[in-house]
Structures are given as C-alpha cells and as structure tokens.
Chains A and B, each alone.
Chain A
Amino acid sequence: MAAKTVPGVLASFAHVDAAVEAISGLKARGFRDLTVYTASPNHEIEEVLDQPVSWVRLFTLIGGLTGVTAGFAMTIWMSNDWPLLVGGKPIAAIPPYVVLAFELTILYGSLCTVAGMIILSLVKSLKGRPFHPRFSDDLIGVFVPCSADQTPAVRELLTTAGSEEVTVHGA
C-alpha cells in the first residue's frame, strides 16, 4: 500500500445481492465515492452504481476521423509529390486510396480507443485505496471512504447487508 492511505471501510461480499443491497444503502446515506471491486463486470452492480456512459467512444470517433483524413491526405499528397504515370491511371486515383484510408481509420481508431481506456481509467486515482487479492477471484469488494466518526455506522450497514468481512482503514 502507498504511504498515504485513504481512510474508510472495506467490505468483501460473497453474495452479489448482498453487495447490491450494501451499495444502495450507502448511496442512500449519501456516500458517493465508492469503489467496488469485481472479478468480472456485473450488470446488477453497474445498475446500482449507475454511472454515466464512458467517454471512450469520443476517443474512438476522433481517432477514426484522424485516420481517414490522414489516409487520403498521405496517399494523394505523396502521389503528387513525384507524379509518375503507371498503367495509364490518374496520378491520384481515389478508388485504390479508399483501401488505405480505411485501414488507417481502423488503426487510429483502435489505438485511440485503447489510449482512451487507459487515460479515463487513470482519471479517478485509486491510490491509497485498499484491495484484496480475492476480489480478482471470487469476492466482491466495496470500499467506502469515510471519516473516523462515520465508521461505526458504515460498518454496521455493511455487516447487516451481509458482508463476510469488514475492515477499517484508518488515516
């Protein structure tokens, strides 16, 4: 763990409905900044957390558009930079260049998408938030950042929801 830990409560759940119940409870109590660990995406949890749709698609769009422009620009400019006649075809022949524009669209599109995934995931720093190896295995983890005075209530809520284990992370 990093030197500076975020104070709060970490609970692990074996049952998904328990986790959902806990999360909705916490949200009802006004806890927004939760971190839920799952081994695979789970739609029930997504629903209860209901966050806005990811911005990744914007990156994809921009990448794609850059690709298609670059594709046509490169081919047309390069053909005219040293104009040579081949097979009686026009110097800048659009139909064949569509292929290259297409390939570059895909290339830039996907690279930007990946970039987007990484950048956006880094936007919210998880530094100092506790993590347990079993979260990548079979348990669902819920971490609630909260001040010391809130701790008992949160712990209470999580346990009643059906948490297997609740640990407190002090500052």
Chain B
Amino acid sequence: MPDQENVSRRKFLTVLGVTGAGTAALSGCSTSKVEKLIPYLVQDEDQVPGIPTWYASTCTECAAGCGIHVKTREARAIKLEGNPEHPVNAGTLCHRGQAALQGLYNPGRTKGPMVREGSAWKALEWEDALGRLATRVSSAAGKVAVISGAGPGTLSDLLAEWTTALGGRLVRYEPFDRTPERAANRQVFGVDEVAWYDFAGARHIVSFGADFLETWGPVVEQQRGFAVAHGFAGQGMAKLVYAGPRMNLTGMNADEWHPIAPGSESALALGMANVILSERTTAPADANALSGALAAWSPEQVANTTGLTPDTVRRMAREFISATPSLAVAGGIGAQHRGAIDVAAAVNILNYVAGNVGQTVKLGAGLPSSDGFGAMEQLIAAMSAGQIEVLLIHDANPLYALPRTTQFAEALAKVPFKVSTSLVLDETAAASDLLLPSHHPLERWDDLRPRAGVRGLMQPVMTPVFNTRHPGDVLLQAAAKAGGALARFTAPSFEAHLKQQWGAQPGADPGDAWRSALARGGAYAPAPAARPVQLAAEAAASVTAPAFDGDGEFVLLPFPSSMYSDGRGANRPWLLENPDPVTKITWGSWIELHPETARRLDVRDGEVLTVRSPHGTVAAPVYVYAGVRQDVVAMPLGLGHTEYGDYAKGVGVNVLDLLGGKDGKGFLPYVSVKVDLEKTSEFRKLGRTDGNPRQLGRHIAEAMPLADARKGMTVEESLKQMGEEHHEINTELEHEALAGFRDKQVEKQKLGAYAEEHPRWGMVIDLAKCTGCSSCVTACYSENNIPWVGYENVTRGREMSWMRIERYFEGGTEPGEPFGARVVPMLCQHCENAPCEPVCPVYASYHTADGLNGQVYNRCVGTRYCSNNCPYKVRYFNWFPFAKKAFESPLDLQLNPEVTVRARGVMEKCTFCVQRIRGAQHQARLEDRGIRDGDVVTACQQACPSGAIVFGNVADPGSRVAQAKENHRGYHVLEEINVRSSVTYLARVLHRTEA
C-alpha cells in the first residue's frame, strides 16, 4: 500500500517540523531531549537511518512499574519490549504495556492546551494557558486540590510539594488499588503496606479470588513466578487451587477450581487455618493462640457458607500444609466485596499458620498503594461543600472510574476552576475548564518507584507527537509565574529537577550513576530482606458475611478486564480487538450467565438483557458461561466510556453505573449489589472469536496427569493409560507409505537453492507454562503491522490475529463434572508438507530453503485457496483495505518499517518474524560467524511472561528448541493429517488429586 507509506512519511516530517518550531519557541524545556532528536539535516552519530535505536524506560500502564526497552526507528517509537535487567518483569511485557504505543499515537489525543468557552473548546498558547493556571492557583488561597494517579516518583513528589506549598490537598487515586490488603496487613501484622508474594518459591498455591495472572498485582512478575512454580520441569510442580465464584484466567489455569459463594472466601481461609492448627502440632507458637478463635470455623461450618463439602475443606488444608512453602493469596477487584479486608486478614492468618510469612509472603517490599477511596470520599465532600477553588487532575479519570452514586460529578460541578493534564479528552477532562495536555510517558522525563530498591527511569524517546507539555514543567513554570508560596520551585525544568534528584542519591559519581541509570532504565538494588512480623493480638477479628445492596436475584460480579483495566485501555484498538483471555469476546461488554440460569430465563448468547440494581441499570448481551455460579452474574469493567476518544466512545457499558459507593472501610466495594435481569427484544452478536468452544475429542490441547508426566510418558501413552485411544486415521500400511513418501520428498528437495545446508526454523510451545494471557497477541500485532478490523468484521470472523490463543472448555457438561479450560496458542505451523503451498496458482505461497512457509504479498492475487486448505486456519485475508483504517494518522507512525503493510485483497499470516530472522542472519554475516542459538527471538517469544515459547534452528542439535522438541510431552496438533508442522506443543500437566 504505497500511499499508506507516503502518508506516514509526510506525517513524520511534519512532526519533525512542529518540533523544530516548538523547540525554538519553547526555550527547549518540554522537548529538552532535543539532543536525542535527529532532524535528518544534522545526523547524530548514534542515529543511523535503518538501524533501530533502543531506549530504556519504564511502563506506566499499571502500578507494577515494569521496565521497558523502546525500539525507535528514525526517531519514532515502533515497539515496546521488556527490559531484561528490570527486577519486576525481567525482559517481558504484558499486552497493556505494549499497547502504550497506541496511547502515544492515539488519534484521540488532545493536540494542545485548550480552555473551555461555554460548551466549546478554544485553543491556547502555552504561555497564556500557564498564565491562567498561575493566576487561579495564586488567588485560590489554599483552596486547591490535586487528584493524581501517578505512581510514586519524582513527579508525584513534586506534585505533593507543590500542593502542600499552596496549602492544598493531594489525593493519590488509583481505581484498582489494594487498600483492603493493606488494611488487613495493618490489622494482622501491624504493617501498613502491601505484601510481596514469591510465586516462584511456592510449592502449593491457593488463590481466594485473587486473579494474579490477569489483573491483580505485578501480573508479569507473578506470571513469571507462576511459570517457574507451576510449569512442569521434569519432576514436581506446584498445584494451584482457585476458590472464587467466577473462573477467571487464574481459575482457568488452576488445577482445581472451587466455585464458592461470593463473600465466603474468608470462611474458607479460616476454616483451612483451623484444620491446620487442629491437625498440626508444630505451628508457630503465637499462632496456636488463635486456635480458640478459629475453632468456630469447623469444616462443617465452612462447608455451609462456601457450598463445599467438609472433606474438600480438610483436603485443601492438608494439601496446603503438606507442600511447604505454600502460598495463599487474596485480593483484587473481582473479589472486592464489603468483607474484602476480612478475606485478606483471614488469608494472612492462613499463611501465618502454615508458616509462609517470610517465606513466600514478604512484607517490607514497600509496594505502593494509593490513598484509597476513603480519601477520595473526603475530597468529594469538600468539593461539594465548596471548599475547593482549583482542582488539578493528573493521570486520573475519576469521573469515569467512580460510581455515579459517589456524587463526584455533582461535586466536580461545584468546583469553579478545573484543570486536567490528561493526554486524551477523557470524561473528567471534558468536564474541566482548562486542558494542559501532558506528554505521553514515552515523550517525557520521569521516574517511578514501584517498590523498595527499584527506581525505574523514564526518558523521552522521541519528539512529542502533539503540542503537549511535561506536567512537571507545567508545575514549575506555573510556579514561576505565580510566585508567592510557589516561589521556592526554582528548577529551570523538570529534567533538571529530576537529574538533581538522582544526583542527590547516595552512591558514586552521580554522572556515572545517571548514565548507567539511563542505560539500564533505572537503578535496581536487591529487594530488602523480608521484615519479620508478629501476629497482632486482634488478628482473628470477627468475620461478618459481607452485605449486598438490594434484594435482586443475582450477585453482580464486576471483574476487571485484563485488556481495559480500570478503563484506560478502552481507547486502544490492540486491546479492544485482543479477545478477553477467558471469554474470547472483543469490542464490547457482556453479561456472563451460568447455562442453568440461562436455561431458566430462556436466553441465548447475544440476547440483550437489562441489568437492574438499586443504583442503576445497564443493558448488554448475554454470554452463557459455565464458569460462573448460578447465583452470580459477572460483567467486565473498563468499558462504556462517554468520552475518551472515538475508539472508546460507545463501546460496551460501564458496570460502575450499577454500583453504590457507600460503606466506609476506606475502599470501593465492587461486589456489593444484587441485581435483577430483564429480557429485552434486542439481540447483539457478541464479538466472539471462538467458533466452537469445545475440542470434540480432536486432541488439539493435550494434557496429562502429573503422575504420567513424572513417569516420562508421551501423550499417547498417557491417553492409553486413561483408556482413551488417540484416534488414528492412518492404517499401518498408510504409515509405511507416508514414511516412504517422506524419504522421496527429502531427496527431491535436494535441488537448486534448497540443496545447500540451511537452518530449519522451528518452535516449541509449552502448554504447561502458557496461561493464555495473550501478551503474545499484542506483541505480534505491533511487530508485524497487523491491522485491527473492528466489531463488524470480527463478528464475521475476519480478525487478523496471526497469533491467536485458542481456548477450549473441558467438562462441566453434566452436574458434578469439574469445569475447566485449556489454551493453545495457534499460529502458522510452517508445515513441511504445507497444504497451502501447492494450491496457490501463482506461487505466492511457497517453501523457503530454511523451512519457512513463505507468503509473497506482492504476488498474491487473492484466490484464498491456501486458507481453505490450511487445516490450522491461520491465514488471514484483507477483505477491505484494513490497514488504511487501522493505521490512520498518527497511528501510522508506529508501523514497523521492516514489515510490509498489506494491501487489500491479499492473504497474510505468521512469518515466524522473518524480518528478525533475516536481521539476525545479516548481523551474523557482518560478524562473520554462523547463527547462534538465541540470535533470533520472535515477537511472541520475546513478550511471553511465562517463557512458554522457544524458537530456534531445529537443524542445530544443540539448540534449545531442538532439545525441547525431544521432550516426551511433545506432540503436534493434527499430526494425523501428515502436514509435518514445525511447531511442537508440550502437553499441559494437570496436578489433580486422584479421588
């Protein structure tokens, strides 16, 4: 699509132009990194066109604070990858982190400072805009408040000082913070902070509703740890038990899922603790003090509240204690009911009783936590009382993220002057008076302290796309203009301020420290030793069953989506089109109903229901899902924006409209209402990407019991043992014939370009590690310029995801049968006997000498026969000029120059990141050496937090991939049709208790 390229190039040059002007006009502060920006006239020696430049920075998409490497080409960021040196994510990155690029290049971003005039917005000059802010704050006489979602770092410190200097108040607000856990730690251990959990070290994990693989805590780090603990390395593996009313991604990966009643988590935890204490003599001395208090939680008692059998409770407890160090976790929005603190406290007790505290549960890591909902409630009160003159909102969207019932909108209306630094015109920004759009984190200096000993640094990797300004500079310049109380902020620019902050750090020559920090993406000290803690006296506080508003039939379970998070992901097509890992639904909200409930109400998938709570109503299509309890309806959070750019606007519904904020205890109880369902006459096709959610005995996603895996059995043998013959299509004779055919092929292939020695690229995917989190999908989109296609086309099955995670449900069909799911990442298998190749009339699909299944876009005429003949259905067709829409300016700046943007009417598919393979080969040639194992890392492999994907040269027996292919768990999907796939899957291992 040549015009596509032209557009992007032209756009790119204009951006440079703007910058040049901007630099001149703005005394170079906001673009202080100008020495890093390369106008083509003056070429910087560390900037070679065609060679990517990498910058180390820090991800701000959630509180985890992962380190990232930003790949830039010709001074524009084109891909985000994990920073291997960073202790949190150690080189990998989740889909939300990678999608930050679409935040950077989002067409919905505010182009420059603006002021509200009536209902319209008027563009301003920065000087003017800052002047207005300055006059207002100086005249506000302390009646200033700041709402900030920025993580702990120099900027938020500056913000705090700035606010205090004005005598105002700062509320650090994150919708998905971990207040209840903090409160529980205070209550049980007397430590006012969130604990850090060592998943890698755990030998048995029980999660009480905590979705640690998807949305709760530092997910990437936890995934990595979980892969270590739960992945099968030859001998043992940790067992994961998940107890919660809904099977989320963590539940999907659990070896056991117990759908306990919402609110009964604490009972279960205390019940287990009770069993442990009563059966075990060697519990910590002070723990025994609890036995009296815990005696009330007998297995029978617990069984009543949870809906489990007493024996199950006992068994869970025994397994928990028999494999130490074990780990119990609780928390997360999906389980945040009014008893959330009790749950966390109960789990703390359980961990303590099992002796995990200090082992797998580490306090003293100083994980950040915001001021919480309580502080926000106070601020709202102050606002409605008219005690706030000027409200500055930075990096937060409370108007969206707070339920209507909190009256935030009304309170906001009472504030005379509201300033927003939001990048995008989100709900809150749209309701404010002055917009001072801030740089995207990739465009600015800043740092982040996600935990003790970790200081991630952010540096501008490119010229700002729009006429935005660094919030820090905004504060400093406003201070300079306002003077008075703010006169003491003298730093010339935030960059200077930051450098000075870092220089002030203890350590060797600050210059060196700074340089190494820039290079390494921050300064990392080893995590502090776990602080020893004592059980507080009032630990076993009385646990009360959480209350629910309303007398509806179902408990509403709003759960955070791993794509949209607290709503900030909703304007990124990469996330909107990356299917939810559990339900595989894109582009919209849905209501999860248990099949039984659906049958009773007589509703089908896609039927729109009205959900009515005491506080409001929303309407969304039904998704019948056996992974929720019958007395529960679950809905994803983060959608239903009324502002926040064209991509987000009008997609789905905002479940918060159903919630009531009241209750105290300092956090927002998400699971706190009971709802009724009403049928409507409407029908809305769900944007589902799964055609049929069952395997139908086709052995696509294989799994074997731990016992068999230990014995080193192959999938075949294991199945035999379970009495399930793997269906064999070919007869003995046919097998001989196939073998002969194979030899014939091999000799016939020794011809022309195919004759000499070549590597043979292959891949191994370990299903025991893969959790189905879908980071690889976004990685593939960003590496390979894959266009998103939008709701309409997704409903027609036209999504282009070269890498897709196939999710197959298991069991749950007849009562009593456990319900579960398996996942298979499905990508082009680069078959040796690729069925797609011979059917192409023009050789657009052919086999390269190094075993790749090549696709020549320019030659493709679009007969689509290859796709028909592809048994894995991994070929994707450009039904429309998808790229034109998907890469509308300025999103086109993100395009990877190494990869063709496909035109309309051609077929495309996974290439094993051929551009990376060739790149590595060229590099090897430059260095006059052969390809080394690990030279080529595909995008999906690079992103995978669990390290489930191994790629390399199969022809080299020493390579990791070649060895992995030897693994006894290895199998090929659809082996019986003899296409000789190059992707080997290692069967998942199930740690089930043989009843």
Contact = CB atoms under 8 A, between A and B. Distances in A.
Direct touch of chains A and B (CB < 8 A): yes
Interface of A: 82-91
B845 A88 contact: no
B832 A91 contact: no
Nearest to A91: B751
A82 B753 CA distance: 10
Contacts of B833: 87-88
Contact of B834 (A82, A87, A90, A91): A87
24 contacts: A83-B751, A83-B753, A84-B843, A84-B847, A85-B749, A85-B754, A86-B834, A86-B837, A86-B840, A86-B845, A86-B846, A87-B834, A87-B835, A87-B847, A88-B749, A88-B832, A88-B833, A88-B834, A88-B980, A89-B745, A89-B748, A89-B838, A90-B745, A91-B752
Contacts of A83: 751-753
Contacts of B753: 83
B846 A84 contact: yes
Interface of B: 745, 748-749, 751-754, 832-838, 840, 843, 845-847, 980
A29 to B, nearest CB: 66
Nearest to B869: A87
A89 B754 CA distance: 13
A99 to B, nearest CB: 13
B748 to A, nearest CB: 4
A90 B836 CA distance: 15
A109 B209 CA distance: 78
B874 to A, nearest CB: 16
A68 B846 CA distance: 28
A68 to B, nearest CB: 22
Nearest to B744: A90
A91 B846 contact: no
Contacts of A90: 745, 748
Contacts of B836: 87
The secondary-structure label for the interface of chain B is loop
Max chain B Cβ within 10 angstroms of own Cβ: one of A83, A88, A90, A91: A88
A88 B832 CA distance: 6
Nearest to A90: B748
B875 to A, nearest CB: 14
A83 B745 CA distance: 15
Contacts of B838: 86-87, 89
Given A83-B753, A86-B837, A86-B840, A91 B748 contact: yes
B975 to A, nearest CB: 16
A37 B327 CA distance: 107
A94 to B, nearest CB: 12
A41 to B, nearest CB: 44
Nearest to A96: B838
A87 B837 contact: yes
B861 to A, nearest CB: 16
For the complex of A and B, 10 pairs with smallest distance between CB atoms: A86-B837, A87-B838, A85-B847, A87-B837, A88-B833, A88-B745, A90-B748, A86-B838, A84-B846, A83-B752
A97 to B, nearest CB: 13
A89 to B, nearest CB: 6
Contacts of A82: 843
B35 to A, nearest CB: 50
A25 to B, nearest CB: 65
A90 to B, nearest CB: 4
A87 B832 CA distance: 7
Nearest to B834: A87
B847 A86 contact: yes
Specify which of A83, A87, A90 lies most central, judged by the most chain B CB atoms within 10 Å of its CB: A87
B755 to A, nearest CB: 10
Q: Which of A84, A85, A89 has the most chain B CB atoms inside 10 A of its CB?
A: A85
Given A83-B753, A85-B847, A87-B847, 6 more contacts: A86-B838, A86-B843, A88-B834, A88-B847, A89-B745, A91-B751
A123 to B, nearest CB: 43
Question: Which of B748, B835, B836 has its CB near the most chain A CB atoms (within 10 A)?
Answer: B748
A64 B847 CA distance: 36
Contacts of B748: 89-91
A8 B836 CA distance: 72
A91 B837 CA distance: 12
B178 to A, nearest CB: 54
Contacts of A91: 748, 751-752
A65 to B, nearest CB: 27
Contacts of A86: 834, 837-838, 840, 843, 845-847
